[in-house]
């Protein structure tokens, strides 16, 4: 009997791994189209870019949502208020997602940047977040006493996603649509805050899983973690300013916004750094897959902060803004930080649900995938930064000539992108396979081998 476990979250994790696997393929096609504009002409860059971005961002949401649906009932002792709502949520996501992909493939665009599908498809997205939000708060409010920081982060992320998603649709009202500055300001403001909302979901997940691996629940209640939460909240509400370069604003507002989001990242980096130092050898090996993704997250946090500080220096910003350096910043954060955290979370869930001994937990394939992904990512980001700098410094006239100058960097970008894709595919394939085997044959945690292993581990 396995009635105690609620595995609905695993469906979201599986869907997330599938979305990312397909999404990166469109990224690779897009990078080849930089080099050979006629490559796969039927599927132009106008379609491959939104296909890539929508699928990889779906991965971020699906993996974060799946984690929350899994952790609340199974790890936080907070049974879901509704067990049926996540199933609805899942199917709404699948059907709407397929409709969005079909509209991109058919070249039918209707919305604004990042939400380029016909706007009516946003209605089911809103409905699914309302379902998720109500279920989350009804379940989390069962927690007696003070909430640990991750419950605040998840709740804040859900609320602000819904808020900013609705805000991103204000262009539907003539008051906003008929004034370009007003429309662009609101649009980019909402995007800036929306990234803050998914960061809340991811950082909450990182703190939760780190606490579970170390067995130290204080990580989620520490002053440092709450300090990070409030900085993140301030960044989310006011820190969108560095996403609104397109519209006139006072420079100090942008600089303050930058300082807030960078300090938030630095605190997360410090929490993970301290957490790493606190683990003993057994804990590291027991969760060896999840552990290494968090170590990688820490590395990429520092690399991203350095890049972000560099591109916020006015003289440097003048050269790099709107070039591939900005894309490196976006992908550096979504791959290096969000994706690494979420892969750590997925492998933590797998480890918790699958009975395996400590040695088997560190699979060789995951190890290959991990190193291939991280090494390729370093080359990938460096080539984007160099392409952006050469573009920014280019003083000649013809666009064509400038493109010839950055071509070698774009070639390295595309080749490293292929390796990045292969590395991620190894990881995602393994995760998908293991999640599938768990869903097909859930282990009885009360009497099965997991329980036996726990007893042995405790005795040891
Ligand atoms: C975990 C994997 C990945 C994530 C999370 C990710 C995320 C993103 C995001 C958020 C953007 C939008 C950037 C912006 O608007 O400034 C983007 C753009 C892009 N990505 Fe990725 N990406 C991933 C992997 C890849 C791979 C493997 C490639 C292959 C080379 C790739 C190629 C591209 C291209 C060509 C663009 C468009 C850049 C432009 O518009 O100039 N991505 N990606």
- Residue of 32, 53, 331 with the most ligand 1 atoms within 8 Å of its CB, for mutation: 331
Helix (H, G, I), strand (E, B) or coil at 415: helix
Q: Report the pLDDT value the prediction gives residue 452, as an integer from 0 to 100.
A: 46
Whole-angstrom distance, CA of residue 157 vs CA of residue 209: 17
Q: Which residues contact 194 (CB under 8 A, 6 or more apart)?
A: 160, 161, 164, 165, 168
DSSP codes of every residue in 238-254: HGGGGG-TTS---HHHH
Mean pLDDT of the residues in the chain: 90
In the reported structure, the alpha carbon of residue 26 is separated from the centroid of ligand 1 by a whole-number distance in angstroms of: 9
pLDDT band at 319 (very low <50, low <70, confident <90, very high): confident
**Range 294-312 average pLDDT:** 90
Q: Report the pLDDT value the prediction gives residue 322, as an integer from 0 to 100.
A: 79
Q: Report the pLDDT value the prediction gives residue 1, as an integer from 0 to 100.
A: 38
Closest CA to 215 of 454, 380, 453, 456: 454
**Range 59-82 average pLDDT:** 97
Please give the share of the chain, as a percent, with pLDDT higher than 70: 92
Sign of CA dihedral 81, 82, 83, 87: negative
Q: Report the pLDDT value the prediction gives residue 460, as an integer from 0 to 100.
A: 33
Long-range CB contacts (within 8 A, 24+) of 121-125: 121/96, 122/165, 122/169, 124/92, 124/95, 124/96, 125/92, 125/96, 125/165
Q: Which residues approach ligand 1 with their CB closer than 6 A? A: 20, 24, 27-28, 30-31, 49, 52-53, 56, 326-327, 330-331, 334-335, 339, 414, 417, 420-421
Protein residue with least CA distance to atom 3, ligand 1: 335
Whole-angstrom distance, CA of residue 12 vs CA of residue 440: 15
Instruction: Tell me: pLDDT of 118 over 90.
Output: yes
**Range 347-361 average pLDDT:** 81
pLDDT band at 200 (very low <50, low <70, confident <90, very high): very high
- Tell me the C-alpha to C-alpha distance, in Å, between residue 252 and each of 62, 255, 257, 263: 36, 5, 8, 16
pLDDT in tens, 33-62: 999 999 998 888 999 999 999 999 999 999
Q: Quick check: 21 and 343 in contact, CB under 8 A?
A: no
Q: Quick check: 361 and 351 in contact, CB under 8 A?
A: yes
pLDDT band at 2 (very low <50, low <70, confident <90, very high): very low
What DSSP character marks residue 148?
P
Q: Which residues contact 364 (CB under 8 A, 6 or more apart)?
A: none
Q: Quick check: 402 and 16 in contact, CB under 8 A?
A: no
- Residue of 46, 48, 52 with the most ligand 1 atoms within 8 Å of its CB, for mutation: 52
pLDDT in tens, 172-197: 999 999 998 888 888 888 888 899 99
In the reported structure, the alpha carbon of residue 363 is separated from the centroid of ligand 1 by a whole-number distance in angstroms of: 28
Q: Report the pLDDT value the prediction gives residue 446, as an integer from 0 to 100.
A: 65
Instruction: Tell me: pLDDT of 63 over 50.
Output: yes
In the reported structure, the alpha carbon of residue 330 is separated from the centroid of ligand 1 by a whole-number distance in angstroms of: 8
pLDDT band at 236 (very low <50, low <70, confident <90, very high): confident
Q: Report the pLDDT value the prediction gives residue 457, as an integer from 0 to 100.
A: 42
pLDDT band at 444 (very low <50, low <70, confident <90, very high): confident
Instruction: Tell me: pLDDT of 222 over 80.
Output: yes
C-alpha angle 147-149-150 in degrees, rounded to nearest 5 = 100
Q: With the CA atoms of 242, 247, 253 and 254 taken in that order, what torsion angle do they form, in degrees rounded to the nearest 10?
A: 20
Q: Report the pLDDT value the prediction gives residue 54, as an integer from 0 to 100.
A: 96
Instruction: Tell me: pLDDT of 313 over 80.
Output: no
């Amino acid at each position: 009997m396995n009635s105690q476990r609620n595995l609905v979250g695993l469906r979201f994790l599986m869907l997330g791994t599938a979305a990312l696997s397909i999404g990166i393929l469109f990224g690779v096609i897009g990078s080849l189209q930089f080099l050979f504009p006629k490559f796969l002409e039927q599927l132009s860059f106008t379609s491959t870019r939104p296909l890539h971005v929508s699928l990889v961002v779906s991965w971020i949401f699906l993996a974060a949502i799946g984690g929350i649906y899994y952790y609340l009932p199974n790890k936080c002792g907070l049974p879901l208020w509704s067990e049926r709502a996540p199933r609805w949520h899942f199917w709404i996501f699948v059907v709407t997602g397929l409709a969005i992909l079909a509209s991109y493939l058919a070249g039918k665009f209707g919305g604004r940047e990042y939400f380029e599908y016909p706007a009516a498809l946003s209605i089911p997205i809103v409905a699914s977040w309302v379902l998720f939000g109500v279920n989350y708060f009804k379940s989390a409010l069962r927690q007696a006493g003070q909430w640990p920081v991750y419950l605040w982060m998840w709740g804040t992320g859900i609320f602000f996603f819904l808020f900013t998603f609705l805000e991103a649709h204000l262009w539907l009202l003539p008051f906003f649509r008929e004034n370009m500055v007003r429309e662009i300001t609101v649009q980019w403001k909402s995007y800036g805050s929306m990234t803050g909302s998914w960061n809340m979901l991811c950082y909450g997940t990182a703190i939760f899983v780190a606490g579970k691996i170390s067995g130290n629940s204080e990580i989620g209640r520490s002053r440092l973690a709450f300090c990070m939460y409030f900085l993140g909240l301030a960044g989310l509400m006011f820190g969108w300013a560095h996403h609104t370069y397109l519209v006139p604003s006072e420079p100090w507002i942008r600089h303050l916004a930058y300082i807030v989001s960078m300090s938030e990242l630095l605190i997360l980096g410090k929490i993970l750094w301290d957490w790493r130092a606190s683990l003993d050898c057994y804990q590291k090996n027991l969760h060896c897959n999840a552990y290494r993704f968090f170590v990688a997250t820490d590395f990429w946090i520092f690399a991203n902060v350095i890049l972000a500080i560099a591109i916020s220096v006015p003289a440097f910003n003048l050269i790099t803004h709107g070039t591939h350096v900005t894309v490196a910043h976006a992908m550096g954060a979504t791959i290096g930080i969000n994706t690494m955290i979420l892969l750590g979370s997925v492998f933590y869930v797998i480890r918790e649900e699958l009975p395996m001994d400590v040695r088997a937990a560190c699979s060789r394939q995951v190890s290959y995938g991990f190193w291939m992904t991280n090494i390729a990512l370093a080359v990938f980001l460096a080539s984007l930064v160099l392409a952006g700098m050469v573009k920014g410094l280019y003083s000649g006239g013809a666009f064509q000539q400038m493109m010839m100058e950055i071509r070698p960097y774009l070639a390295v970008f595309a080749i490293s992108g292929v390796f990045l894709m292969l590395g991620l595919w190894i990881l995602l394939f393994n995760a998908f396979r293991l999640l599938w085997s768990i869903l097909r044959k859930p282990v009885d945690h009360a009497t099965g081998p997991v329980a036996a292993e726990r007893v042995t581990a405790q005795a040891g």
